[in-house]
Amino acid sequence: MSKLQLITTNLIDTIERVAEEASEIYILTSFVMKSGVKKLLPALQKAAIRGADIYIGTGDYLHITQPDALQLLVDELPEANVRMWQSGGRSFHPKAYLFRLNDGGHIIVGSSNMSASALTSGIEWNVSAGDRELFEIALAEFEAIFYHDHTIPMNMETVKKYRERYDEFHRSHSIAAQWTEAEEESMMLEGPSDQAELIVEMKELYTYKLTPRPAQEEALAALHATMDEQYERALVVMATGLGKTYLAAFFTKRFKRVLFIAHREEILEQAKKSFLHVHRDRTAGILNGTYKEKDADMIFASIFTLNSNHHLHSFQPDDFDLIVVDEFHHAASKSYEKIRHYFTPQFFLGITATPDRMDNKDVYSICDGNVAYRIHFLEAIQKQWLAPFHYYGVYDDTDYSSVTWLGTRYDEEELLAVQMRTEMADNILQAWLEHKQTRTIGFCSSIKQADFLTRYFNGKGYKTVALHSQATAMTRPTAIEALDKGQLDIIFTVDLFNEGVDIPSVDTILFVRPTESLTVFTQQIGRGLRIADGKTHCVMIDLIGNYRNADVKMSVFDTDPSQKKKGTIPTVPENCLINFELKAIELLTEMSRKRNPRKEQLHFAYEDLKLELGRRPTYLEFHLKANADSKAIKEFHQSYPEFLHNIGELNEQEEEVFKKHANWFNEVEKTAMNKSYKMVVLKYMLERGFDHWTKPITPIETAPFFHDYLTSKEYRKRIDFSDKQGKKLWQYDEKAVTKLIVDMPMTKWSGSGNGLVTFDGERFKVGVNIEEKEKEIIFKWTKEICMYRLHRYFERKVEKTEQSNE
């Protein structure tokens, strides 16, 4: 470590000096002021021009952060990744500046926020030190906060939303009056602060040869078939408890070098052990904040560490034959996209336990929506690969409508106020006593609720412990072992058991939290479904209140969600049981009746995605990333441009173009597609750019592009060129391909296109009169619809093939 330096004034001088040599810059301050951004901006802009990665995190605590400061960062430093911690009223006071240098790292930690006075003449104390090991430790803590559930990206849209909240807050609050009281609140960050303890060591020695389980055998066969069809990436959806990590390990056998990426440290450690169990002759290494083992055959990397250019560019793009991505948190999606675009593996595999596409769009998106294999936990129960369940819905009279909804979660302090009541704790205890079996995991909303219920249950004579990221009465391995041996009745936790840690003997799951995410709910269900000696079924005790998604989450248990049925009780497997208290049924029925229609959900999903991207999403982006089914666009609106029109998203010029050419957009959106041929021809036209795409084309000039597009990927060839006529065209025959284009897309579209497309036997033409000022808008929307329809066409065909093989 270099000499420690205490800096009490003009911190800006040290920051500017160190930033000149930094390849990566990480700033985390409780608030940012416009004056501070102006001071730092020149140094940060110089660093960005050099190619340095810049990450800036701040908070909304007491709404001190100025919207103008955020706007300045977004406008003047677009290369930076800026995120804001949503405090929900809890104190948030970090002040740290981290720099990665060629010879190590440099950190500055102390009292200076990002304001002019704090960086120059204010009375501040900051400690500066150059030390590689300390830098890596600090960086790991930075990443835990920066990518936490409570953070959101800052862009044009989110800054606008924050400005509205900022103005509203300052109209009705005096910050000085609240500061002293707020300072006393402790910050509860449910992050991986003591990851080393999270790892449950496997006690067995691997002396026997592993073979795939039935579900893994099916998935491996599907993956091999997918590769044979020349897909370059695919997703496997496999219910918790069926061994998706071991599946990836078995699949690895056909590859030389493998990169496994996850967002949680304990997943990396357990994946490493699983892979070594299968591949005892290979080396394995960890790449995270603590370990930098980059030379192994199989590398298990933290996405946050790998996202750093310093580490990412230490690998060549073709260093790995296989990249495996475990399901990841939404906040890290841009990091995964960066990895995807940098590496060029032979195959890219995504694995997830979440069956709901709408709730796990990021994983689907990164694999281009190609699902090679899917098995829901309900199907696995029917095949006796997982334990059956007995579900009990217990009425909860808590009024959650009074708790503020923050977009993705409830306000934690307000939620605690209604949860930490003796009446509610007693209701939970009585429900547990009535339905429990031997070993229980209780899922709570927060650390405070877990501690509160632990004290309450222990006070009634039961043996319980709370496990979370703060100090607890037992270490995690000790508590897990005690529960497994029956020495504990319950482990209350927040999210430690969502993924990565399994206790097969657990036979009771207790839900005492509102369900905010179907992904998390499904993962938590899976904690109780593993098969174990003496275990006949898993009991699930769920508090049903008037919180968001209380009725929607029932779909998770439904074996036939498409069936129209009266009431809200799902159809479950024959060997399972579902039972609700009468008041719970009445509540769910009423909530379902009042629920927002699908048309409104489209708009909500669009606005959420727009906030995330900071711009208007394309049609294909909406399909891949929005929390809604894109098929509803055409159901409720004629086209994507019409959807944008109906929700008020178009500017004046776009409105004119839409109204004038709505029939054309509807035609592209709705023309029948028994094959992909029409859209392939349109794609060829669009490849010529917005100045030339409407110029007439001939079948013979289209033929090379048409043939190459449909035969360059095995799955396209199988789907659209596998009939008797199509197989004859696998080898390019100009005359035959030209004839196919004449007979199929050009003639058929011309005959059904309402005069908007014409074909005279020689020339195919789009019959739309476009003014010069309209060109770019019409081209953009036409291309968006074309790309969406092509993607959705092949995706749908693959889904149908998958269903027919089940």
| AA letter at 64 | I
C-alpha to C-alpha distances, 726 to 213, 385, 699, 747, nearest whole angstrom: 38, 41, 17, 18
Return the structure tokens found at 591. 């909530």
Q: What is the pLDDT of residue 599?
A: 76
Helix H or strand E segment including 754:
none
Least confident span in 299-303, 605-609, 615-619: 605-609
Question: In whole angstroms, what is the distance from residue 490 CA to residue 669 CA?
Answer: 54
Q: Rounded to 5, what percent of the chain is helix, strand, coil?
A: 45, 15, 35
Q: Which of 93-97, 195-199, 544-548 has the highest mean pLDDT?
A: 93-97
Least confident span in 7-21, 406-420, 448-462: 406-420
Average pLDDT over residues 415-430: 94
Q: Under the phi-then-psi rule, with left for phi > 0, alpha for psi from -120 to 50, and beta for the rest, what region is 368?
A: left
Average pLDDT over residues 560-564: 60
Share of the chain above pLDDT 90, in %: 57
Q: Which of 303-307, 399-403, 641-645 has the highest mean pLDDT?
A: 641-645
- CATH topology for the 198-375 domain: Rossmann fold (3.40.50)
Is pTM, for the whole model, over 0.85? no
Q: What is the pLDDT of residue 604?
A: 82
Chain mean pLDDT for the chain: 86
Does the pLDDT at position 359 exceed 70? no
Which of 94, 76, 74 is closest to 85 using CA atoms? 94
Q: Cα 98 to the chain's mean position, in Å?
A: 27
Which of 269, 221, 275, 265 is closest to 243 using CA atoms? 275
User: CATH 3.40.50.300 residue ranges in the chain?
Assistant: 198-375, 389-594
| AA letter at 796 | R
Q: What is the pLDDT of residue 186?
A: 33
Only one residue has tokens 């997982």, namely: 386
Least confident span in 396-410, 617-631, 784-798: 396-410
Phi, psi of 749, deg, nearest 5: -70, -40
Residue-wise pLDDT for 738-761, tens only, equals 999 999 999 999 987 678 999 999
Does the pLDDT at position 803 exceed 80? no
Does the pLDDT at position 564 exceed 80? no
| AA letter at 653 | Q
Burial class for 324, CB neighbours closer than 10 Å (0-12, 13-18, 19+)? buried
290-315 b/e (C-beta count within 10 Å ≥ 16 → b): eeeeeebbbbbbbbbbbbbeebbeeb
User: CATH 3.30.870.10 residue ranges in the chain?
Assistant: 5-187
* Contact predicate 287/312, CB 8 Å: no
DSSP letter for 721, please: S
Q: What is the pLDDT of residue 561?
A: 63
What's 389-594's CATH class?
alpha beta
DSSP letter for 216, please: H
Residue-wise pLDDT for 128-162, tens only, equals 999 988 999 999 899 889 988 788 899 999 999 89
| AA letter at 297 | D
Least confident span in 165-174, 424-433, 534-543, 656-665: 165-174
Phi, psi of 779, deg, nearest 5: -60, -45
Question: In whole angstroms, what is the distance from residue 392 CA to residue 543 CA?
Answer: 9
Phi, psi of 371, deg, nearest 5: -95, 110
What's 5-187's CATH class?
alpha beta
